[in-house]
Amino acid sequence: MSLATPPEIAVLFNKSAAQKDAFSTSRLLVYSLLGGAFIALGGLLALVVTGGMPQVAAANPGIIKFIFGALFPLGLVLVVIAGAELFTSDCAVIPFALLHRKTNISRLLRIWTIVYAGNFVGALIVAYLFAYQTGILSSGPWLEAAQKIGINKTSHHFWETFVKGIGANWLVCMAVWAAYAAKDVTGKILALWFPVMCFVAFGFEHSIANMFFIPTSMMLGADISMYQFLVVNLLPATLGNIVGGVVFVALPYWFMFKENAAPSADTHIATNEYSHQMEALENQLN
């Protein structure tokens, strides 16, 4: 078949978790830097295009939401197709493996911590170098659009941002789950695009994207404090993203396919082969 079935996707999810667990800390960190940078590039693209359309935004805000959502998926496409690590998708992949007893809490926390930190730094690099230093957002109407998005994201109550974080990562993790079904690049891109476009158009909160949007707003002069950024927005968005990935994706699909995706010899062989390939590559480089 040209399409993997849901039980087959469950097996692939477990294999993906095993491969992530096989990464050394340095490689996991580099992959995470790329993940944060890729998401930020998608955000920057969406901001540059829609920020230059204030008349359209005033006359038809729904169209702007759609265009913003249509462009933002560039980031997740690069993560999945080119290869990178993303904290939000790991909120489903790693707990899925944990539920199957393929990993443990300490390994989960190791991956989450490294990937979250790497994503943060990668997003900040893009914000500082390509959004701020280039000056592409430093004049109107882009300046006002960039400032507005940060102010808006830090103006909601904890619960509202938390719930929006759940919705965002439910859709992000479903995008990744669906992308595993496709066996060609076009199919993967389409599977990723629709759910991500949907959550962005809804105005939901994605913690890694906010690591780009809010610091960019702050660099461009928006009146946002570190407390507003880290506590008012990033904390509830992150917690919501975790709940969205674990409760709305990992848990139900584990329940549905726990027999199909149970730990198997094939998965352990794949992990060992991956580790041996990485060791061979390292020896060649040295």
Contacts of 257 by beta carbon, 8 Å cutoff, 6+ apart: 6, 7, 10
- Residue 34: CB atoms within 10 A of its CB come to 20
Write down the pLDDT at residue 184: 93
Residue among 129, 114, 91 at smallest CA distance from 215: 129
pLDDT tens digits, one per residue of 145-160: 999 999 999 999 999 9
Write down the pLDDT at residue 261: 55
Contacts of 156 by beta carbon, 8 Å cutoff, 6+ apart: 164, 232, 233
Write down the pLDDT at residue 285: 40
Cα 114 to Cα 3, 30, 54, 68, distances in angstroms: 32, 10, 39, 29
**DSSP secondary structure code for residue 154 in this structure:** T
Please provide the DSSP assignment of 189-242 as one string: HHHHHHHHHHHHHHT---HHHHHHHHHHHHHTT----HHIIIIIIIHHHHHHHH
Residues pairing with 182 in the sheet: 3
- Look up the pTM and report it: 0.90
pLDDT tens digit at each of 286 positions of the chain = 578 999 999 999 999 999 999 999 999 999 999 999 999 999 999 999 999 999 999 999 999 999 999 999 999 999 999 999 999 999 999 999 999 999 999 999 999 999 999 999 999 999 999 999 999 999 989 999 999 999 999 999 999 999 999 999 999 999 999 999 999 999 999 999 999 999 999 999 999 999 999 999 999 999 999 999 999 999 999 999 999 999 999 999 999 998 765 444 444 444 444 445 445 544 444 4
- 6-263: CATH architecture: Up-down Bundle (1.20)
Residues pairing with 3 in the sheet: 182
Write down the pLDDT at residue 268: 46
Q: Where are the domains of the chain?
A: 6-263
